[in-house]
Amino acid sequence: MLPATSLVEGDEHTRLVAEIPAVQRLPIGERLLLARRRRMEQVTRYERWLLRSDYNSAVVDGRRSKETSAARSRGRHRAVRFAAAVALLEAVRRCDIDEG
């Protein structure tokens, strides 16, 4: 389990909560872009944490253990997938006939 303080600054949560009213007034498209950008920042911070942490030092006989390298490769290439119904609802909301 990852310590919360290593990935998230202490006052970041407070800052995000303070931004909620402004974010709620944004159009959906801008909200999605903002969420995507914040998620990329979160993943970047997590990868930096992995490089500095003890997780990176899991070495057996001069090589990484299979579990460690497999976990790292899965984490970097994992894509978020939504249920078909959710994807359809989002396509309908955007009037995206091709995706729907």
pLDDT digits (tens, 9 = 90+) for 2-16: 444 444 556 788 888
- In-domain check, residue 8: yes
Residue 19 belongs to a domain: yes
pLDDT of residue 10: 63
What's the pTM value of the predicted model, to 2 decimals?
Answer: 0.44
The confidence score (pLDDT) of residue 2 equals 45
How many structural domains are present in the chain?
A: 1
Give the domain range for residue 26: 4-93
Residue 82 maps to a domain? yes
Residue 99 lies in a domain: no
How far does CA 11 lie from the centroid of its chain? 19
Provide the strand spans (E) within 42-85.
59-60, 63-64
Could you tell me the two tokens for 97? 């006939």
Residue range 19-59, pLDDT digits in tens: 999 999 999 999 999 999 999 998 998 888 888 876 556 55
Q: pLDDT at position 51, please?
A: 84
Residue 98 in any domain: the answer is: no
In angstroms, the CA 88 to CA 96 distance is 9
In a domain, 89, yes or no: yes
